[in-house]
Amino acid sequence: MEKRLTRTEMLFSLGFLFMLVFAVAAFFYGVKVGSDRTEANYIENAKLLSSSSNKGVAAGYQQQDLVSFYHTVFLPYREFQNNWTDTMRKLSSGQLNDIGSSLKELSSSAKRTYDETEHSTVPKSSPLLESAQLQLLKSLRMFTEAAQRGAGSSKDMKAADLYKALMKDTYYSNGVKFALGGQQDYYAAMLKWSASVNPNLPEDYEKTTDVSIATWKTLQLTVKNKITADQLNARKALVSFYPQDLTSRVDEFIRSGQAGMMKMRTIDSIVDLLVNTEAVREGDFGASKGELYSKELLPQLPFFYPPNQ
């Protein structure tokens, strides 16, 4: 005969079953919480490691910032600058048919470029890029006024006289000063970036004396480019070529033995010769990059990597 469970036994069985279910649920809940905490700790540690390993870059100059600045600020400015130098060349040689209209268009071009680049975002963590943008904007303001003043005088002056007057105009000289200062800051930012990638490179390079040829030969490309940007700024030379084009011509001049034959001992003297004789052209760097700089560290900027390479 089947024995029926008493009320007490029934309650005890149900209680035991409930406790068993609760224990199993608690176990799996604990496993989930532990897993979540472990995952959270892992993510946090990964963030800390990432932050630590990228500390040098995050604090200042990342490659994407250099690239963004190139496309939104530096390239539009250089396009205007090339337009300016081309117009000045035609003015000095008497090749402008309507001087007044050409200078007015040049003034309008400077204004359009200013409006295009004024609102470009530059990270606060990159003060050199901020300074470069500010100086290039100031340069555009100065060139706008210089071209406008030239247009106003075009009816009363011959082309050659107007050209000379423009070259002496305060707005023009300030435009050149700010343009070369902005370029110098941009190349200084590239040097900061290269130092964050390769700790063996200096974050900055300020020459206290003329750079000797012997010292120049020991320097990395980003340092050389900073020096040639400094050289152009010191000479207030508004040219169509880039600092790296000048760098490559200096290296070729030394490598060919011409510096030795002319008993030159400093980079300053070589730059004087190359600039004064107009021996540097835009694209010189690209032509010699494969032979001279194939293993050099460079940011991924278009003017360092011509389309045919």
**Assigned token pair, 289:** 């990059």
Whole-number Cα distances in Å, 63 to 67, 199, 273, 303: 6, 16, 34, 14
> What pLDDT sits at residue 8?
60
Percent of the chain with pLDDT over 90: 75
**Which residue in the block uniquely carries the two structure tokens 């008493």?**
6
DSSP of 220-266, one letter per residue?
A: -HHHHHHHHHHHHHHHT---SS-HHHHHHHHHHHHHTTHHHHTT--B
pLDDT tens, position by position, 182-204: 999 999 999 999 999 999 999 99
Whether residue 5 contacts residue 13, with contact meaning beta carbons closer than 8 Å, is answered with yes
DSSP letter assigned to residue 305: S
> In angstroms, how far is the first alpha carbon of the chain from the final one?
98
Nearest to 132 by CA among 64, 65, 205: 65
Write down the domain spans for the chain.
60-204, 206-309
Token readout for 97 is: 């048919």
Mean pLDDT of the chain: 86
Instruction: Give the separation between CA 31 and CA 28, rounded to whole angstroms.
Output: 5
Mean of the pLDDT values across residues 142-152? Answer: 97
pLDDT at 24 over 50: no
Cβ neighbours of 305 (radius 10 Å): 13
- Strand-pairing partners, residue 212, are 266
CB 83 within 8 A of CB 103: no
Euclidean distance between CA atoms 77 and 235, whole angstroms: 20
In this structure, which amino acid lies at residue 297?
Answer: L
User: Quick one: which of 300, 235, 309 has its CA closest to 267?
Assistant: 235
Say yes or no to pLDDT of 37 above 60.
no
Write a three-state SS string for 27-67.
HHHHHHHHHHHHHHHHHHHHHHHHHHHCHHHHCCCCHHHHH
Which conformational region is residue 298 in: left (phi greater than 0), alpha (psi within -120 to 50 degrees), or beta? beta
CA–CA separation, 166 vs 168, rounded Å? 5
pTM of the predicted model as reported, rounded to 2 decimal places: 0.80
What is the rounded CA–CA span in Å between residue 306 and residue 242? 13
What's residue 27's pLDDT? 45
- 8 Å CB contact between 292 and 248: yes
Q: Tell me the pLDDT band of 18, cut-offs 50, 70 and 90.
A: low
State the average pLDDT over residues 102-131: 95
**Which pLDDT value is given to residue 33?**
42
Please calculate the CA angle 291-294-296 and round it to the nearest 5 degrees: 130
Residue 293 CA from chain centroid, whole number: 19
* pLDDT for 309: 56
Residue 16's pLDDT band, with cuts at 50, 70 and 90, is: low
- Across the range 245-273, mean pLDDT stands at 97
DSSP-derived 3-state class of residue 16: helix
Rounded to whole angstroms, what are the CA distances from 109 to 78, 84, 237?
12, 9, 21
